[in-house]
Homo-oligomer: A and B are copies of this chain.
Amino acid sequence: MLNLPEQKVALGTVRNIIRDTFEYGKRRSLEIGAENVFDFSLGNPSVPAPNCVNDKIKAILESNESTSIHQYTSAPGDLKNLETLAASLNRRFGGGIRPSDLYFTVGAAASLTCTFHGLTVKGDEYVVLAPFFIEYKVFIEGAGGKVVVTPPNFENFQPDFTAIEAAINENTKGVIINSPNNPSGVVYSEETIKQLAALLKKKSEEYAHPIFLIADEPYRELVFDGYTVPWVPNYYDNTIVCYSYSKSLSIPGERIGYILVPPTVCEHDKVYASICGAGRQLGFVNAPSLFQRIAAECDGETSDISVYQHNAELMYNSLTKMGFTCIRPGGTFYLLMKAPMESALEFCLKAREFELLLVPTDAFMCEGFVRIAYCVPTERIERALPAFEKLAKSCL
C-alpha cells in the first residue's frame, strides 16, 4: 500500500473557486463565443509590461556573455542586482536599506513561504485580515503555523482593530497585511498603519517578544490618484516586506520578487539568515538570474496603470448608479460589490445567467461580497454593463 501525504494530494487536486470560475468561462466561451462571456474572475494583468522589460532583456542578451547572463547567482541574488535594488528602494522610500537586507525570490508566493518557514517555530500563530488571499492559509500551515482570521470593518474594509487585538496572544508570531488589498482594492491609510504599529508595539511588549508585521505588497504601485501607500518599515521596526513584480511590471508568469528585512528588525542577521536557510531548504537556489537583473533595473517602473484606474472608475460609478453597493477601490485591479442576497455564491450563480463571471469573497474567507477583477480591456466592461443592468433588475 502506498502512503501519501493526503493534505498535499488534496492541495494538488482541488481547484479553488477562482480557477473554477475561470475554467467555466473558457468552456462557456466555446459554447457561445468569447465575446459573449464577461469574465471578471482572474487577477491576471491585462496591460503589457513596460517597455523597459523587453528592451532590457534584448540589451542584456546583446551585450553580455551567455555564461555571465545565465549563471548561478549567490542565494540572495547577484550583489550588483541587490545594490541596484537597494539604491532604488532608498531613493523611493527614504534610505537605510542595505543589499544585505534583501533576498530575491521567485515571486510573492515564494516571498511568503520563505518568510513563514524562516520565522515559524512550533506553536506560532499568524493573524490574517479577511478578506485575504486564500493561499496565506496554505503557506502558513505548510510552515507549521496556525492561522487566526479576523474580519474587516465592513463599511470601508479597513482592519477591525478590536478583532485584531483580541486575536493576538502569546503565540502570535506575526500579522499579515496586504495593501493595496486583494480582493477589496482598498489601500490602508497612514492612520491605519500607525494604529496597527502602535497595537503591535504594545502587544510585543506585553508578551515580551517581537510580533512581526508582514507586509505583502504585490499591488504597491497599482494605486490610484488621491491615494498613497505608506512605506510600512517607516512606521514599525519589525516589518518584513514581501514583494513581487508580477502586477507592477505585468510579468506574473516570470516569478520574480524579493523579501526585505529592514535594518530595524530585531536580531536582524539571524532573521535574515533564517529566511535564507528556509529558501535553501525549500529548493529556491537563487531567483532566476535574467529576471533578477530586469527587476532590479526596472524597480519603481510600472505598466500603464491608468487603464486600471479608468476601469475602476467606470465600474464603480456604473454599478453604484445601478443600485449596487460597492467598496471604492484605491488601487489594485479589483473591486468588491455587496451581494444583494444572503449567499454571495448564489449571487455569482445568478450573475452567470447573464454571462457575468464574478468570484464570491467566500474564496477570501469573508462572506457577503463578490470580487470583480477589472484587469480586462475597457470595452469588455462597456459591453458587460447592460448585463450588470439586467442582474440589478433581477436582484435589487
Contact = CB atoms under 8 A, between A and B. Distances in A.
B3 A110 contact: no
A53 interface: yes
A138 interface: yes
A255 B106 CA distance: 10
Interface stretch (A94-102, A156-164, A281-289, A353-361): A281-289
A142 B281 contact: yes
Interface stretch (A59-67, A224-232, A329-337, A364-372): A59-67
A187 interface: no
A13 B274 CA distance: 8
Interface of A: 1-5, 7-13, 44-49, 53-54, 57-58, 61, 65-67, 69-73, 106-107, 109-114, 117-121, 124, 135, 138-139, 142, 208-210, 250-256, 266-267, 270-291
B46 A66 contact: no
Task: Kindly report how many copies of this chain are found in the complex they form together.
Answer: 2
Contacts of A47: 67
Contacts of A208: 1
Nearest to A13: B273
Contact of A57 (B53, B57, B67): B57
A72 B44 contact: yes
B120 A2 contact: no
A65 B49 CA distance: 9
Contacts of A110: 283-284
Nearest to A55: B61
A326 to B, nearest CB: 26
Contacts of A285: 107, 109, 255
**Top 5 A-B residue pairs of the complex, sorted by shortest distance between their CB atoms:** A253-B289, A12-B277, A11-B277, A113-B283, A12-B276
A313 B1 CA distance: 48
B12 A139 contact: no
Contacts of A48: 65-67
A3 B273 contact: no
Contact of A10 (B5, B8, B45, B277): B277
B44 A66 contact: no
Contacts of A45: 67, 71
Given A109-B283, A255-B106, A5 B67 contact: no
Residue picked from A2, A13, A71, A109, most chain B C-beta under 10 Å: A2
Nearest to A106: B106
Nearest to A212: B2
Contacts of A120: 5
A295 to B, nearest CB: 12
Given A11-B280, A54-B61, A138-B280, A2 B67 contact: no
Given A72-B253, A142-B281, A274 B4 contact: yes
A160 B394 CA distance: 74
A254 B290 contact: yes
Given A253-B71, A278-B8, A285-B255, A57 B61 contact: yes
